[in-house]
Amino acid sequence: MVRGLLGKLASRSLSIAGKWQQQQLRRLNIHEYQGSDLMSKHGINVPRGVAVSSTEEVRKAIKDVFPGEKEIVVKSQILAGGRGLGTFKSGLKGGVHIVKTEEVEDIAGKMLGQILVTKQTGPQGKIVNKVYLCEKLSLVNEMYFAITLDRTSAGPIIIACRKGGTSIEDLAEKFPDMIVKVPIDVFKGITDEDAAKVVDGLAPKVADRNASIEQVKKLYNLFCACDCTLLEINPIAETSDNQLVAADAKLNFDDNAAYRQKEIFALRDTSQEDPREVVAAKADLNYIGLDGEIGCMVNGAGLAMATMDIIKLHGGTPANFLDVGGNASENQVVEAFKILTSDDKVKAILVNIFGGIMKCDIIASGIVNAAKQVSLKVPVVVRLEGTNVDQGKRILKESGMTLITAEDLDDAAEKAVKASSG
């Protein structure tokens, strides 16, 4: 839920380039059960729970983890929000259920291996490979808590709201005074005064104030120690025994910290990602799949976004963001073409290279070799400019390939749009 709110807090840019720029940022996203486990290790109160991937594991968990429990919460695990209001393609309504213990195996069995569609997954949905079984807590109050990075204050910012468990975006729009934002000095760290402001924003009714302040400090310390870009709990709740509990766990991590957060990054679930993006990452390519019909291969993020903008200007729609970078090898260019041609929606490919560090002859050789390995069934528009451009054009000309050449970016985009609709 926080994505919409935090997007408004961080930037109100609505340009096409801005949207793709935000999408290009790669951040590890982990499942709720993994986030809860991480929080527990940092001293944060979480419900007792266990993740299972089969009905056999469900039976064992009920016996070993929940003996005597009358009701259990069954949560489908996908890397997308809106699970509670989602619908399985099998017809089952809701990805989160509170059921009697004797019904847990049945409902979990109906979730496992099925596709759950939510407002965040798109119509294709995501497969549920695990469900998270949690104890049913007696909650007396639900609130909202998040930590993210704020450009304005150039550091972490904690967001709190005395109402939670529902759409935070709607609350922020209708009742902006309910949203409390506390920027944290990244050099000083969180102080008791900062944590107290957050607790005041949460306005707990029964939880001990000092204990709540300590929980907020532990959450901030986790955020920093684990290189998080987002920590969201909706709801953070009060229980009937006067405890503040993280009844949800949404955590993202900075990919730049992968080298020092090896245990956390080992939690990555590639089954929840676009397989093309997984292949691209292995080839050290920056790729993001979109919904259009013109595949793009460009060097440099800025040029890639400009290319997508001008495609839109001429009435087309980009099928992807693909930046081969400044030092791409011939093999990487081949891999890039394989990824582009694996998308059935692609009706034309636009190669737009400005040769600086990336030489045009390397790109040209990669295109030729890719054509030999991949069955190119769609038109390819090529615009080359810069270092070794003449050698690159000669390689393409002597290859015997049927290519559409362009003199400049405007010409290339116009030809690509025409080729995709022809």
* 320 annotated among ligand-binding-site residues: no
Three-state SS at 277: helix
Residues 291, 319 contacting (CB under 8 angstroms): yes
Rounded Cα gap, residues 317 and 100, in angstroms: 49
Do the annotations mark residue 248 as ligand-binding?
yes
Among candidate residues 144, 220, 238, 277, the one labeled active-site is 144
- Higher local confidence (pLDDT), 332 or 235: 235
pLDDT tens readout for residues 45-80: 999 999 999 999 999 999 999 998 999 999 999 998
Consult the annotation and say whether 35 binds a ligand: no
CA distance 321 to 26: 13
Confidence of residue 208 (pLDDT cuts 50, 70, 90): very high
User: Is 358 marked as a binding-site residue?
Assistant: yes
- Beta-strand runs (E) in 255-335: 286-289, 294-298, 320-323
* Short-list 96, 94, 193, 199, CA closest to 141: 199
Question: What number is the average pLDDT over the span 334-358?
Answer: 85
Active site residue 33: no
Tell me what pLDDT residue 30 has: 96
| pLDDT score of 133 more than 60 | yes
Burial grade of 92 (CB within 10 A; 0-12, 13-18, 19 or more): middle
Per-residue pLDDT at 172 exceeds 90: no
Q: Which two tokens stand for residue 276?
A: 């093309």
356 is in an annotated binding site: yes
- Mean pLDDT, the chain, rounded, equals 88
What CATH code would you report for 274-421?
3.40.50.261
**Residue 321's pLDDT band (cuts 50, 70, 90):** confident
Q: Collapsing DSSP states into helix, strand and coil, what is residue 304? A: helix
Q: What are the distances in angstroms from CA 189 to CA 31, 51, 149, 195, 417? A: 27, 34, 14, 11, 52
Q: Where are the domains of the chain?
A: 48-135, 139-266, 274-421
Residue 357 is labelled as binding a ligand: yes
* DSSP label of 53: S
Please tell me which residue in 232, 238, 293, 414 is annotated as part of the active site.
232
| DSSP strand pairing (348-355 vs 294-298) | parallel
Confidence of residue 6 (pLDDT cuts 50, 70, 90): very low
Residue 368 pLDDT class (50, 70, 90 cuts)? confident
Quick check: is 259 catalytic? no
Pick the CATH number of 139-266 from 3.40.50.880, 3.30.470.20, 1.10.1060.10, 1.10.10.10: 3.30.470.20
Phi-psi region of 402 (alpha: psi -120 to 50; beta: other; left: phi over 0): beta
Residue 83 marked ligand-binding: yes
22 — pLDDT class (breaks 50, 70, 90): very low
> Cα–Cα distance between 75 and 72 in angstroms, integer?
10
Any known ligand binding at 327? Answer: no
| Topology (CATH) of 48-135 | Dna Ligase; domain 1 (3.30.1490)
